Amino acid sequence: MSDQSTAGRLGQRLGRILLMLPYAIQNPGVSVTELSHRFGVAKRDVIDDLNLVFLCGLPGYGPGDLIDVSIDEDRIYIDMADYFSAPLRLTPGEALSLYAGATALAELPDLANAGSLKSALDKLGKALGVDGDAARIGVRFEPAPVQHLATLRDALSRKRRVRLEYLSATRGELTEREVDPWGLIAALGRWYLVARDRLSGEERMFRLDRMKVAEITSDAAEVPEDFDAERYKGAFTGEGETSVTLEISPAAARWFEDYYPVENSYELDDGWRKVTMIAGGDRWMATLMLQLGSDCRNPEPESLQQRARALAAAIEARHR
């Protein structure tokens, strides 16, 4: 079993616990059955998660240091440790990241009336100095069909296969395919569906704004237990084990390593940075080089340069 698979499962479990705990605290006496249905996990997993929470706390591990969880005839009661009453203190960077993420979340159609979220955003905005002037911090996503976003979230919650009519940017053709949805990712200002393409059998990312049709089927979707959304930052597919190097300009270097899977990097004498990264295939890397344009140079292996030129020529010929 790989360390990456283990980390993925642990991350999923931690995320699940962080979602269930606030709900159980706000709803004393909620049943194990309700938590199981609401969060889409087996009852045994709910029990295992609560047993883990029972051991969480600060050193000292006395009654006031641990989270107290009790289950009485299927009913759950949670008392938080004393230190949870202390106010949360965020660094400016953490607060800005939280504000940007929550603002994007508030744009979702089914959260239009989420009063608690908007109230929290207002308070956080005042702490950041926005104080109602939303223009000072902008979070914008390219438009995606609202009905597709709702359909795919439904398919994910029910673990159902989806039929897509999808515009392939590389071929310029509308294709029909069935996919096993794994997760929805917001990256680089767009919404993506991470899924297993049944046609090719490969892991793919599909942009929602290129979907003409998205329909839920009656077939069950196969979702890997170790699915980890963190692998897909920067719309990177997570596949591939080939290391490549290239040099990026000072302008691109300010954001590049936050979006792409860089293994290591160092600054050159002229201010450019040389980065080593994991590539998700030659075509993926060639596309990235075209996006960077004059902000990248000297790719290794050299074959990537030829691949990028060939891709550029194909795009030019198609548009011509």
Same domain, 223 and 155: yes
Residue 217 resides in a domain:
yes
3-state DSSP call for residue 212?
strand
Same domain, 124 and 73: no
Residue 281 resides in a domain:
yes
The pLDDT of residue 108 is 64
Residue 251 resides in a domain:
yes
Closest CA to 224 of 244, 261, 263, 194: 194
User: Given 206, 232, 258, which residue is the final one in a domain?
Assistant: 232
Same domain, 129 and 65: no
The pLDDT of residue 288 is 82
Residue 5's pLDDT band (cuts 50, 70, 90) = very low
Residue 137's pLDDT band (cuts 50, 70, 90) = low
User: Given 232, 264, 288, which residue is the final one in a domain?
Assistant: 232
Residue 115 resides in a domain:
yes
The pLDDT of residue 181 is 92
The pLDDT of residue 211 is 87
Tell me the CATH number at 50: 1.10.10.10
Residue 141 resides in a domain:
no
3-state DSSP call for residue 112?
coil
As for how many domains the chain has, the answer is 4
The pLDDT of residue 90 is 74
The values of phi and psi at residue 221, to 5°, are -90, 145
Structure tokens, 72: 């009485």
How large is the average pLDDT for residues 297-314?
86
Ranges 115-119, 143-147, 171-175, 210-214, most confident = 210-214
Closest CA to 232 of 267, 197, 269, 195: 195
Same domain, 166 and 221: yes
Same domain, 81 and 122: no
Residue 128 resides in a domain:
yes
DSSP 254-311: HHHHHHS-EEEEEE-TTS-EEEEEEES-HHHHHHHHHHHGGGEEEEESTHHHHHHHHH
User: Given 136, 169, 195, which residue is the final one in a domain?
Assistant: 136
Q: 220 is in which domain, residue-wise?
A: 146-232
The pLDDT of residue 97 is 74
Residue 17 resides in a domain:
yes
Same domain, 269 and 296: yes
Same domain, 81 and 119: no
**222-240 pLDDT, tens per residue?**
888 777 766 666 555 555 5
* Rounded Cα–Cα distance for residues 115 and 14 (Å): 26
Residue 281's pLDDT band (cuts 50, 70, 90) = low
**34-86 pLDDT, tens per residue?**
888 888 788 888 888 887 776 676 665 555 566 777 788 888 887 765 556 56
**164-209 pLDDT, tens per residue?**
998 876 566 788 999 999 988 876 667 888 888 888 788 888 888 8
What percent of the chain shows pLDDT beyond 70? 72
The pLDDT of residue 217 is 93
Same domain, 112 and 62: no
Q: Is residue 149 predicted with pLDDT exceeding 60?
A: yes
Q: What's the mean per-residue pLDDT of the chain?
A: 77
How large is the average pLDDT for residues 257-285?
80
Same domain, 100 and 130: yes
The pLDDT of residue 317 is 79
Tell me the CATH number at 219: 2.30.30
Q: In what order do the strands lie in the sheet with 75-79?
A: 30-31, 75-79, 68-72
Same domain, 226 and 248: no
Same domain, 56 and 21: yes
Say which range, 70-74, 214-218, 276-280, has the weakest mean pLDDT.
276-280
* Rounded Cα–Cα distance for residues 48 and 40 (Å): 15
Residue 315 resides in a domain:
yes
Same domain, 249 and 179: no
